[in-house]
Amino acid sequence: MRKIKLTLSQRRMILGLVFIAPWLFGFVFLFASPLLQSIQFSLNKLTITAGGYQLEYVGWSNFKYALFEDATFNRLLVESVGAMAVNVPLILFFSLFSATLLNQKFPGRSLARSMFFLPVILTSAAVSAAESAGLLNLLGDANAAEEMSGASGQFNTLSLMYILIDAGVPEVFVDYLVDAVLRIYDIISSSGVQILIFLAALQSIPGAMYEVAKIEGATAYESFWKITFPMVSPLILTNIIYTIIDSFMQSQVTKTVYSTAFESLNFGLSAAMSWLYTLVVGLVLVVVGALVSRKVFYQN
């Protein structure tokens, strides 16, 4: 057999293909083909038979049913987009703030960092589901102690709201803030990965830039907006996209899609629902991506 002579770059090409071969194989069989199948399913009525499944073409009726007849689906879809619109700015702001804090030098920094990353470990859909089912409301409730002693030891949101509204802050904004304070645990627990990404970005900013700014007389506030913010802005886009996807993954819509398929055994409808949902996520990503990437500063 004659040996085929290959140039170095051709050999490198083949080697590269060998390295990505497992992924490529998986992509074709476990991602691309299910994706196409899922489009097919959404246009059909699927019945499981003993040796597989049967399809019966029904056109757009699954989509029509999901949008116009199903009692809850469109409400859930709108709600999850709304929840995302509320959460994404909060999570982004919080994670950038925490990353800036954790990037400063102070004693106990590594302890603080490991604390802030703990939520990455502990966020679990199963745990939160079980937690909401557990109804332990009486325990450690400061209200009970309050009633007994007559003293108020708890953070009183209502009075804070009145103070802010009296101070002339718009009511919508106050509601938003109070809501954020009340859900602080949710916000913290879903910003672990984002803090990580921002922190890595902050560490890649050369320290000389800050030194120069300091010599030129810039305040900390100015150097944040003139140096830190533009330098991390590409990662703001990354984080926005990650947060949007993450918030959709945990939404009620996913659960509805799952239960439609595996509890009601209506696979076609479930596929249609998940495609509607994918389109909404895609639309949000395109709009947000286009808006944000205009403002992003790239060094090159």
Partner 1 sequence: MTPAKMQQQTELMYRTNRVRTKSAAWLWSLFRYVIIIGISFIIIYPILLKISVAIMDKQDIYNPTIFLVPQHFTWDNIKMAAEVLNFFPALGTTLLYVVLTMLLQAASCAMAGYGFARFSFPGSNVLFMLVILTILIPTSTLMVPMYLHFRNFDIMGIIHLFTGKDGVNTINTLTPSIITSMTANGLKSGLYIYIFRQFFKGLPKEIEEAALIDGAGGFKTFFRIMLPNATAPLITVMLFAFVWQYNDTFYTSLFMGEAELLSNKIASLPAHASAYINNALMIASPGAEPDPNHVAMVVDTGILLAILPLIVLYLFVQRYFVESVERSGVVG
**Rule CB under 8 A: which of 213-242 touch partner 1?**
234-235, 238, 241
Query: Which amino acid appears at position 92 of this protein?
Result: L
CA distances from 93 to 195, 259, 260, 281, 289 (A): 10, 34, 36, 22, 17
* Closer residue to partner 1, CB minimum distance, 121 or 167: 121
Residue 267 touching partner 1 (CB under 8 A): yes
Torsion angle, alpha carbons of 234, 239, 242, 243, to 10: -150
Report strand pairing: 44-49 vs 52-57.
antiparallel
Residue 90 touching partner 1 (CB under 8 A): no
Residue 299 touching partner 1 (CB under 8 A): no
Long-range contacts of residues 277-285, Cβ cutoff 8 Å, at least 24 apart? 277/77, 277/248, 277/253, 280/77, 280/81, 281/244, 281/245, 281/248, 284/81, 284/84, 284/244, 285/241, 285/244, 285/245
> What is the CA angle 290-296-300, rounded to 5?
120
Q: How far is the CB of 171 from partner 1 (least distance, A)?
A: 26
Which position among 62, 77, 80, 275 is part of the footprint of partner 1 (CB under 8 A)? Answer: 275
Residue 7 touching partner 1 (CB under 8 A): no
Q: How far is the CB of 161 from partner 1 (least distance, A)?
A: 20
Residue 201's contacts (CB-CB under 8 Å, 6 or more residues apart) are 99, 231, 232, 234, 235
Q: How far is the CB of 168 from partner 1 (least distance, A)?
A: 25
* Closer residue to partner 1, CB minimum distance, 24 or 291: 24
* Closer residue to partner 1, CB minimum distance, 54 or 170: 54
Residue 114 touching partner 1 (CB under 8 A): yes
Residue 150 touching partner 1 (CB under 8 A): no
Residue 261 touching partner 1 (CB under 8 A): yes
Task: Please choose, out of 74-82, 165-173, 206-214, 274-282, the segment that lies near partner 1 by the rule CB under 8 A.
Answer: 274-282
Residue 109's contacts (CB-CB under 8 Å, 6 or more residues apart) are 102
Q: How far is the CB of 140 from partner 1 (least distance, A)?
A: 5
Residue 165's contacts (CB-CB under 8 Å, 6 or more residues apart) are 171, 174
Residue 6 touching partner 1 (CB under 8 A): no
What's the CA gap between 186 and 246, in Å, rounded? 13
Applying CB under 8 A, the site for partner 1 has a residue count of 100
Task: Please choose, out of 156-164, 170-178, 222-230, 256-264, the segment that lies near partner 1 by the rule CB under 8 A.
Answer: 256-264
Q: How far is the CB of 17 from partner 1 (least distance, A)?
A: 6
- Left, alpha or beta for 75 (phi > 0: left; psi -120 to 50: alpha)? alpha
DSSP 104: S
What's the CA gap between 76 and 85, in Å, rounded? 14
* Closer residue to partner 1, CB minimum distance, 11 or 170: 11
Which position among 6, 33, 170, 297 is part of the footprint of partner 1 (CB under 8 A)? Answer: 33
- 């509607």: which residue's tokens? 276
What is the contact mask toward partner 1 in residues 176 to 195, using x (rule: CB under 8 A)?
--------xx--xx------
Which position among 1, 4, 5, 18 is part of the footprint of partner 1 (CB under 8 A)? Answer: 18
